[in-house]
């Protein structure tokens, strides 16, 4: 694999870009592997990379029914942050953010991680107290990049915000300065290229269609490109998890599949430097500006379960209303595209990285709105779990039993309705 560095960029600039290698191979599936990861999204690719790089597992395949990054990986609004406060979640997301800070170097691929600050607006003294508690806990546990901004600071930093007559008056904001955005395609491609260089077979257009098992373990995965056996199997299929779980004859999961949309406008000159989040009284909206200038918006779920990767118009209206409520100046920006992805919403808003009732099956799922930021730690801990057959203490609580024991990880205290955990 030709490395990306100044010399190679210069050389290829002079040689008509003729000296670059293919980014990853297109191998034929083998009949047997040590580990098969089902799902070529960010989590599957990251897991394969860390397994190969840090656990010296050699015969690994990532099996993807479409093209890599074609699921939520390439559909999200790319926000990366670590403002969680429950034990387990806090360490997990902070580990992820720390890994994001080195990811371009780790992969020798520019994932365009931009630490531009994550600004959560608040609109009442009660909301300010709640975020102050959360952000103080972050500071007390070693994360000193958090601040509370009063209205004057907010106006100075984000001059286009409607601080005059917004429907819900803006009082200030909680800010995480190391948070930001990254380029989602680049993350998928970077992990794929690095994993391939370590010998991982990335098998695209290879759908797992049925699963053969005995009492205790998975025997064979029947795919659209033939039968594959594996000593260990990891599911990392996000919104399709319940389908695969049922194929394995394992019944129901505490997960619902919901649609989440994203939107992008025509390119504009630089307008918003940060990620800005607005959530109050049923309104839910987040906005950032891409490097190409498009404003990237996101909002709430479509509020009904579905496996469709397209959204409905009521959310377009909802998001447009939120956008103009806090940034009236974007009212005339034209929306270029909107799309949706299938979210694997868990009942307490936290993920699963855990063993399963089958001895050689491992589960990575339940990412809700937050799986992009989790990519690095998710791959890291899932690889460790698969390689060593026990969870690292950080992810011990991210298991399926928590709904039996009551040790749920409900960050928002919203209760057992997955739709409330956005």
Catalog residues that contact ligand FAD under the rule CB under 6 A: 38-44, 63-66, 70-73, 75-79, 207-208, 236-240, 244, 260-262, 298, 340-341, 343, 367, 369-373
Q: What are phi and psi of 273, to 5 degrees?
A: -85, -20
- Nearer residue to ligand FAD within complex by CB, 2 or 98: 98
**Smallest gap, in angstroms, from Cβ of residue 69 to ligand FAD?**
6
Beta pairing partners, 178: none
Token readout for 101 is 């800070």
**Smallest gap, in angstroms, from Cβ of residue 179 to ligand FAD?**
10
Across the beta sheet with 335-346, the strand order is 146-150, 172-176, 118-122, 275-280, 283-289, 294-305, 255-267, 335-346
Element spanning 188, H or E? helix 184-197
- Nearer residue to ligand FAD within complex by CB, 63 or 280: 63
**Smallest gap, in angstroms, from Cβ of residue 165 to ligand FAD?**
29
**Smallest gap, in angstroms, from Cβ of residue 241 to ligand FAD?**
8
The DSSP-derived string for 47-114 is: HHHHHHHHS---SEEEE-SS-TT-SGGGTS--EE-----STTHHHHHHHHHHHHTTHHHHHTS----B
- Nearer residue to ligand FAD within complex by CB, 43 or 193: 43
Token readout for 319 is 């998001």
Nearest to 118 by CA among 161, 173, 175, 77: 175
- Nearer residue to ligand FAD within complex by CB, 294 or 298: 298
**Smallest gap, in angstroms, from Cβ of residue 133 to ligand FAD?**
22
**Smallest gap, in angstroms, from Cβ of residue 275 to ligand FAD?**
8
Q: Is 86 exposed, middle or buried (0-12, 13-18, 19+ CB in 10 A)?
A: buried
- 192 and 199 in contact (C-beta within 8 Å)? no
Alpha carbons 138 and 376: distance in angstroms, whole number: 20
- Nearer residue to ligand FAD within complex by CB, 257 or 360: 257
**Smallest gap, in angstroms, from Cβ of residue 337 to ligand FAD?**
12
- Nearer residue to ligand FAD within complex by CB, 138 or 163: 138
- Nearer residue to ligand FAD within complex by CB, 77 or 163: 77
**Smallest gap, in angstroms, from Cβ of residue 162 to ligand FAD?**
23
Alpha carbons 212 and 371: distance in angstroms, whole number: 29
- Nearer residue to ligand FAD within complex by CB, 163 or 242: 242
DSSP state of 10: H
């Amino acid at each position: 694999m030709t490395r990306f560095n100044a010399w190679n960029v210069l050389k290829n600039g002079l040689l008509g870009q003729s000296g670059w290698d293919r980014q990853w191979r297109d191998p034929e599936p083998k009949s047997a592997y040590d580990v098969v990861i089902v799902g070529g999204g960010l989590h599957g690719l990251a897991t394969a990379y860390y397994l190969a790089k840090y656990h010296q597992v050699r015969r690994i395949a990532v099996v993807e029914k479409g093209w890599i990054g074609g699921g939520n990986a390439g559909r999200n609004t790319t926000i990366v942050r670590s403002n969680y406060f429950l034990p387990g979640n806090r360490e997990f997301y902070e580990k992820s953010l720390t890994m994001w800070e080195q990811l371009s170097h780790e992969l020798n691929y520019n994932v365009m991680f931009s630490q531009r600050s994550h600004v959560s607006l608040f609109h009442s003294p009660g909301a300010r107290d709640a975020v102050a508690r959360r952000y103080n806990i972050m500071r007390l546990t070693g994360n000193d990049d958090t601040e509370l901004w009063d209205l004057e600071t907010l106006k100075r930093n984000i001059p286009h915000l409607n601080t005059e007559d917004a429907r819900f008056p803006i009082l200030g904001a909680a800010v995480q300065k190391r948070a930001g955005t990254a380029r989602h395609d680049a993350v998928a491609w970077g992990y794929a290229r690095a994993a391939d260089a370590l010998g991982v077979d990335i098998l695209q257009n290879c759908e797992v269609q049925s699963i053969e098992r005995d009492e205790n373990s998975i025997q064979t995965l029947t795919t659209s490109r033939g039968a594959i056996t594996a000593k260990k199997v990891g599911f990392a299929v996000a919104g399709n998890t319940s389908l695969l779980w049922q194929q394995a004859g394992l019944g129901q999961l505490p997960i619902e599949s919901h649609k989440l949309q994203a939107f992008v406008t025509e390119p504009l000159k630089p307008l918003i430097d940060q990620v800005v989040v607005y959530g109050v009284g049923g309104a839910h909206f987040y906005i950032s500006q891409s490097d190409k200038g498009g404003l990237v918006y996101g909002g709430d779920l479509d509020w009904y379960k579905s496996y469709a990767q397209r959204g409905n118009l009521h959310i377009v209206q909802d998001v447009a209303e939120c956008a103009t409520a806090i940034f009236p100046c974007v009212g005339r920006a034209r929306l270029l595209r909107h799309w949706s992805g299938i979210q694997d919403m868990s009942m307490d808003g936290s993920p699963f990285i855990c063993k399963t009732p089958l001895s050689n099956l491992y589960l990575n799922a339940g990412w809700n709105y937050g799986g992009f930021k989790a990519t690095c730690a998710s791959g890291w801990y899932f690889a460790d779990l698969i390689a060593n057959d026990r969870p690292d203490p950080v992810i011990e609580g991210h298991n399926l039993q928590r709904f039996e024991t009551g040790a749920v990880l409900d960050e928002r205290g919203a209760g057992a309705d997955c739709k409330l955990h956005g």
